[in-house]
Chain A
Amino acid sequence: MLSGKGGTGKTLVSVNLAAAAEASTYLDCDVEEPNGYLFFKPENIQEEEVHIRIPKVDGKLCSGCRKCVDFCRFNALAFIKNQLMVFEDICHSCGGCILLCPEKALAEKEKIIGKVQKGASEEVTVYTGILNTGEPSGIPIIKKLLDENKHETEKITFIDCPPGSACIVMESIKGADYCVLVAEPTLFGVHNLDMVYELVRLFKKPFGVVLNKCLGLDGENPSEKFCLEKGIQILGRIPFDHELGKLNSNAEIAVRKSEGYRTIFSSLLETVKREVQHEAASNSKR
């Protein structure tokens, strides 16, 4: 599930689809502010820290050649008064400086940047990635989440992506068989939809759109117009509805509380499953 900005309904759609699927896995990859767990309230939580490797300087070995300083595209290193400074919060953990150092003055040290949690909510296995505040990149956490779940082939995995279309989203959709784009019925919504539309096409992922916050039959929907113009498959429509808003803001899962919404999301789930199977079948023929 992805969208060009926050607040369009990625979590609403992912949480409710996972709940409608009953036995399934939900991965919260929005590691900067994960919120799926607020709805699922998972139990029996197991937690694991996520580390990255950053450089550690041995001042006695450093000759001051500055190869590392010149190499680092993030400018995480500076050489001042015959002393190499490492800015740990700027480092993206690529390891290049360590490889390049001719004096072997740089070694790796581990730094904790966040954690992953695994718990259960009824039949849904809930994974949450949590990035510590101030860390530059959540990608190692997402890699860990996807790795934890890689042996799961029976049940459907619902990946709740971070907003936008940057590296962190690319990492989240890399292994996905199908992408669901969630869109709002505004011009701004079209702009955001276009961002993720370009991304999934670049990644050659099969995809469809869920139109959220739909304002009735005669309500204007620029995102719907965009889908029709581009020939994009519309998977379903979720109404702009007081009941749903109330359930959601009380951190309730609509599928588990309302018969009407169980029907809406179950039917959306069937549509998505059909699309995925259709894609899988047409891929195997190619």
Chain B
Amino acid sequence: MKIAIPVDEKSLESNVCVSFGRAPCFLIYDTETKESVFLDNSAAANKGGAGIKAAQIIVDNEAGTLLTPRCGENAANVLKLAGIKIYKTRDISVKKNIDDLSSGRLSLLDEIHPGFHGRGGN
């Protein structure tokens, strides 16, 4: 299974990024092969709709699960249609969250925020 995580830096030692849509990069981690792939988030600096595009990137890279501290409504709708499960991260460490997921310690993200559309510059 492939897991996607928004990360601050392209390293397994990186922290989980506080934002999903605006994260600088994503880690795609394969739990079977233990392979890590880091992707640039081309949506990070977009004027609007970053969550939608970020979610499209996750879908296109065939992740089945997303670990994130938060997720907006539009991104959640894209991920839902693609059948991707969203779990809430518990820790700032990427590694710890992967371990927590495999040991069943993460719960599904149930708070989907309505987004920040148009705020921070029209």
For the complex, give the distance between the alpha carbons of A164 and B118 in Å. 14
User: How near does chain A come to B60, taking the closest CB pair, in angstroms?
Assistant: 9
* A78-B78 CB under 8 A given contacts A136-B117, A164-B122: yes
Interchain CB contact under 8 A, A87 and B52: yes
Interchain CB contact under 8 A, B122 and A166: yes
User: How near does chain B come to A274, taking the closest CB pair, in angstroms?
Assistant: 34
Q: Taking the complex as formed, is A217 at the interface, i.e. its CB lies under 8 A from any CB of chain B?
A: no
Looking at chain A's contact residues, is the secondary structure mostly helix, strand, loop, or mixed?
Answer: loop
How many A residues face the partner with a CB closer than 8 A?
22
Q: B56: which of A78, A89, A90, A167 is its contact (CB, 8 Å)? A: A78
Annotate B94-122 by CB proximity to A: 1 below 8 A, 0 otherwise: 00000000000000000000000110011
Contacts of B70 in A (CB 8 A): none
Annotate A73-92 by CB proximity to B: 1 below 8 A, 0 otherwise: 11111111101010101100
Contacts of B52 in A (CB 8 A): 75-78, 87, 90
User: How near does chain A come to B47, taking the closest CB pair, in angstroms?
Assistant: 7
Interchain CB contact under 8 A, A74 and B49: yes
User: How near does chain A come to B112, taking the closest CB pair, in angstroms?
Assistant: 15
Q: Taking the complex as formed, is A126 at the interface, i.e. its CB lies under 8 A from any CB of chain B?
A: no
Contacts of B50 in A (CB 8 A): 75
Q: B117: which of A90, A164, A166, A168 is its contact (CB, 8 Å)? A: A90
For the complex, give the distance between the alpha carbons of A87 and B56 in Å. 13
For the complex, give the distance between the alpha carbons of A71 and B68 in Å. 27
Instruction: List B58-116 residues whose CB lies under 8 Å from chain A.
Output: 59, 74, 77-78, 81-83
Interchain CB contact under 8 A, A80 and B78: yes
For the complex, give the distance between the alpha carbons of A136 and B122 in Å. 9
Q: Taking the complex as formed, is A105 at the interface, i.e. its CB lies under 8 A from any CB of chain B?
A: no
* A87-B74 CB under 8 A given contacts A74-B48, A78-B56, A164-B122: yes
For the complex, give the distance between the alpha carbons of A167 and B117 in Å. 16
Interchain CB contact under 8 A, B56 and A79: yes
Contacts of A87 in B (CB 8 A): 49, 52, 74
For the complex, give the distance between the alpha carbons of A164 and B56 in Å. 33
Interchain CB contact under 8 A, B81 and A83: yes
* A80-B81 CB under 8 A given contacts A73-B47, A75-B43, A87-B49: yes
Other A-B contacts than A72-B49, A75-B49, A80-B59, 14 sampled, CB-CB below 8 A, are A69-B56, A75-B50, A75-B53, A78-B59, A79-B56, A80-B56, A80-B82, A81-B83, A85-B77, A85-B78, A90-B49, A90-B117, A134-B117, A136-B48
